[in-house]
A and B are shown apart, each in its own frame.
Chain A
């Protein structure tokens, strides 16, 4: 794998890249020392953290009066941490926001209008899809940083060895998962499973289940005039719950799926224990970070769907928001523009596999690498995450029910009915 070796060079390129917003801030008096606090979940991940710290170091080298101070928090705890900081009046200047959380953040009144912070001209430099998903009530909530279109990651070498293609519908998926569950060393024990299911009851698990749900033609929540409706009790949802139960019952999933969150699933792929996973291109970087021997063995493909159902892909987008109370909005804008300049966007992509959001970076030929093709294709099917304030509550609603199906506590029909009833209560409580 040669990509990590290129990282320092690319980061250096990013450090000297010029963007219009990088002109010295007139708001800062000469010699005034400023600390810009940044709440980030990627800073605690590998290889993302190293790359992100590299950007911050480069920015500080360019701006000796500025110190970037990170507050690191795991992605699954990000929203709780942001909320806690908001309540305690200690919001950082810059923080990661996402389509899943932005309605809640907007409701808390903690986000500055990014059009005012960055300017309309700058916003015009983003790809339409990501930018359209960054608004609540017409206000831009964050500057899209990257997308990780969540689709099917698979072991290209294992598929080629077995002489099969990535599955295109769920029956095929079930068969392929079973076929790829194998005893490699002949000791009577399974050594590699077909599908690394993220069955934990959290955002990682539920977010992936929502993709399976939508690939069955059902939506966990969708707009209905001024309100919301749930499709948890649609026939497609029952089929999605059933699929989760069947995959575990078939033995196509590594033992302990309910304890398997994103990190565990990545380890399963990295340690050659699983052949498929629903995830984004960033997982390639995470896997290679753990096991460089996997270089060239991973690829993406469009998620299977039921016949006649158009794929719906969660872009898995994260972006940078500026706190409404920040005293350094202009500096925050410069930092965001620095991170989002073309060279840093490309460097970030090469280091982590996360796709850029700026038009100039997306046009760079280094982005369309073979291992990312499937993910880039999937990005065309990105859907708008519902902007309901209670949307994060649906993670638990889904998680409780797919776990109940997996352990045989509920049938797929019962789980779908329960999920629908709980979601309708949430809709009623939040009218």
Chain B
């Protein structure tokens, strides 16, 4: 009896086979494009290798060395700080502009189109524009500051560790705020008007309405945005590489640059893979936090 109860009917088995048939193309693609590279990367991290003719098994040596290497730990710290500042900037600028756009201003469509422009620029273009802006001799920033009398000599912004970090964060904030702005704008427009009317009847001013109506309404959207954005900018490479190459010295040496240098300048692919796997686990931790914070129906 038990065996018969556990046996599926032919129709159910056929449905199951059809289900597998339908998902198998996507599954194959995922296995080939996601799972295989990840697994291969982990495999490489166990070897001292040039990926061609030398494969010396070293086990977890590179993981141990990386996690005890002050340079790598510092690059992780710089990356975390960079990601936190960039995401915070996106939230601040994006939500502020979304609130402005959600209010009944004139030429709203035009402003919305203009404000979304940074999102449309390729990262390479953004990095080169900002590099030019900060150029000490030919740059726009020094020219403007000299014209209004704020500086008397040409300042090499990207040669200063603090200013270089501020510059790459600024460029990344400018590039990425439109995504948060659009998400927040959509969120604001989905909040029923009667909540604002009720708050106004209760004597709430504009700030109080934002604090007690808008923000709670935006919280789920902003929660998702923060997690996704943090993971995205934690892995970021392009803007920082093109603006500062991780310098001066190691002031903007985010972990992706550290990994790139290890792999393609030192040609130490095993160590670079170990570093990348560590970053992968950090990103997985954020993904778990994301699933934990955001229920399925909101994800």
CA A256 to CA B160, docked complex, whole Å? 9
Query: Which chain B residues border A200 with CB–CB below 8 Å?
Result: 245, 247
Query: A236 within 8 Å of B by Cβ?
Result: no
- Tell me the bound Cα distance from A87 to B131 in angstroms: 33
Q: Restricting to B105-142, which residues have a CB under 8 Å from any CB of A?
A: 131, 135-137
B137, A80: Cβ atoms closer than 8 Å? no
Q: Is the CB of A254 within 8 A of B137?
A: yes
Give residues of chain A (256-273) contacting chain B, Cβ–Cβ below 8 Å. Answer: 256-259, 273
Decide if A400 touches B137 in the complex (CB within 8 Å): no
Residues of A within 8 A of B261 (CB): 396
Report the minimum CB–CB distance from B31 to chain A (whole Å): 21
**Contact A258 B248, beta carbon cutoff 8 Å:** yes
Task: Confirm or deny: B283 has a beta carbon within 8 angstroms of a beta carbon on chain A.
Answer: no
Contact of B249 among A108, A259, A403 (CB under 8 A): A403
Give the docked Cα–Cα distance between A399 and B246 (Å): 12
Q: Which chain A residues (373-416) contact chain B, with CB distance < 8 Å? A: 390, 392-393, 395-396, 399-400, 403-404, 406-407, 409
CB-CB contacts below 8 Å: B43-101 with A: 50-54
Q: Is the CB of A258 within 8 A of B158?
A: yes
- How many angstroms between the C-alpha atoms of A209 and B9 in the bound complex? 78
A residues 185-212 touching B (CB-CB < 8 Å): 189, 200-202
A83 adjacent to chain B (CB < 8 Å): yes
A182 to B188, CA, bound (A): 58
Could you tell me if A83 and B249 are in contact, using CB atoms closer than 8 angstroms?
no
Consensus secondary structure, chain A interface: helix
Q: Which residue of chain B lies nearest to A409 when distances are taken between CB atoms in the complex?
A: B249
Q: Do A83 and B267 form a contact, CB below 8 Å, given A200-B245, A255-B137, A255-B155? A: yes
Residues on the A chain within 8 Å of B137, using CB: 254-256, 273
A296 contacts B by Cβ under 8 Å: no
Interface mask (B232-250 → A, CB under 8 Å = 1, otherwise 0): 0000000000001111111
A87 to B273, alpha carbons, bound, how many Å?
15
A120 smallest CB distance to B (angstroms): 27
- Decide: A403 and B155 in contact? CB cutoff 8 A: no
Contact with B along A69-93 (1 / 0, CB 8 A): 0000000000110011011000000
A201 and B251 CA atoms in complex are apart in Å by 13
What are the residues of chain A within 8 A of B131 when measuring CB–CB? 259
What count of chain A residues pass the 8 Å CB interface test?
A: 34
> Complex: how many Å from CA A255 to CA B244?
15
Q: How far is the CA of A86 from the CA of B264 in the complex (A)?
A: 12
The reply to whether A400 and B250 form a contact with Cβ atoms under 8 Å apart is yes
Contact with A along B151-182 (1 / 0, CB 8 A): 00111101111000000000000000000000
**What residue of chain B has the Cβ atom nearest to residue A80's Cβ?**
B264
Interface status of B266 (Cβ within 8 A of chain A): yes
B249 touches A400 (CB 8 A): yes
A67 within 8 A of B: no
Q: A201-B245, A403-B247 known; A108 and B52 CB under 8 Å? A: yes
For the residues of B in contact with A, the DSSP-based class is loop
With A and B bound together, what is the CA distance between A257 and B200 in angstroms? 58
Given contacts A83-B264, A202-B245, A393-B266, contact A255 B51 (CB under 8 A): no
A residues 96-131 touching B (CB-CB < 8 Å):
104, 107-110
Contact across chains for B248 and A407 when beta carbons are under 8 A apart? yes
**Cα-based distance from A360 to B244 in the complex (angstroms):** 45
B265 within 8 A of A: yes
Decide if B247 touches A87 in the complex (CB within 8 Å). Answer: no
A244 to B177, CA, bound (A): 40
Known contacts A202-B245, A255-B156: A104-B264 contact under CB 8 Å:
no
| List of A residues within 8 angstroms of B50 by Cβ | 87, 107-108
Known contacts A83-B267, A390-B266, A395-B265: A256-B52 contact under CB 8 Å: no
Cα distance A375–B160 when bound, in Å? 35
Interchain CB contact under 8 A, B156 and A258: yes
**Contact A201–B247 (Cβ < 8 Å):** yes
Asked if B265 and A407 sit within 8 Å, CB to CB, the answer is no
User: Nearest residue in B to A426 (C-beta to C-beta)?
Assistant: B266
Nearest CB to that of A273 among chain B residues? Answer: B137
Are the C-beta atoms of A392 and B264 separated by less than 8 Å?
no
Nearest Cβ on chain A to B115's Cβ, whole angstroms: 30
Q: What is the chain B residue whose CB lies nearest that of A89? A: B52
Contacting pair A109 B161 (CB below 8 A): no
Find out whether the CB atom of B53 lies under 8 angstroms from the CB atom of A109: yes
Complex CA gap A259/B245 in Å reads 9
How far is it, in angstroms, between the C-alpha of A201 and the C-alpha of B261 when the chains are bound?
A: 12
| Mask of A268-308 contacts with B, CB within 8 angstroms, 1/0 | 00000100000000000000000000000000000000000
Most chain A beta-carbon neighbours within 10 Å: one of B136, B137, B248:
B248
Inter-subunit contact A407/B159 (CB<8 Å): yes
Give the complex CA separation of A406 and B250 in angstroms: 13
> CB within 8 A of B248: which of A110, A390, A396, A403?
A403
Given that A87-B52, A201-B245, A202-B245 are contacting pairs, would A392 and B158 also be in contact in the complex, using a CB cutoff of 8 Å? no
What are 11 A-B pairs with beta-carbon distances under 8 A?
A86-B52, A201-B249, A254-B137, A255-B156, A256-B137, A257-B159, A259-B156, A259-B159, A403-B248, A407-B159, A409-B249
For the complex of A and B, list the 7 residue pairs with the smallest distance between their C-beta atoms, beginning with the closest.
A255-B136, A80-B264, A256-B156, A256-B136, A255-B156, A255-B154, A258-B159
Using a CB–CB cutoff of 8 Å, the interface residues on chain B facing chain A are: 50-54, 131, 135-137, 153-156, 158-161, 244-250, 261, 264-267
Beyond A107-B50, A406-B159, list 12 extra A-B contacts (CB 8 Å): A86-B52, A255-B154, A255-B159, A257-B156, A257-B159, A258-B159, A258-B248, A390-B266, A392-B267, A396-B265, A407-B160, A407-B161
Report A's interface with B, CB cutoff 8 A.
79-80, 83-84, 86-87, 104, 107-110, 189, 200-202, 254-259, 273, 390, 392-393, 395-396, 399-400, 403-404, 406-407, 409
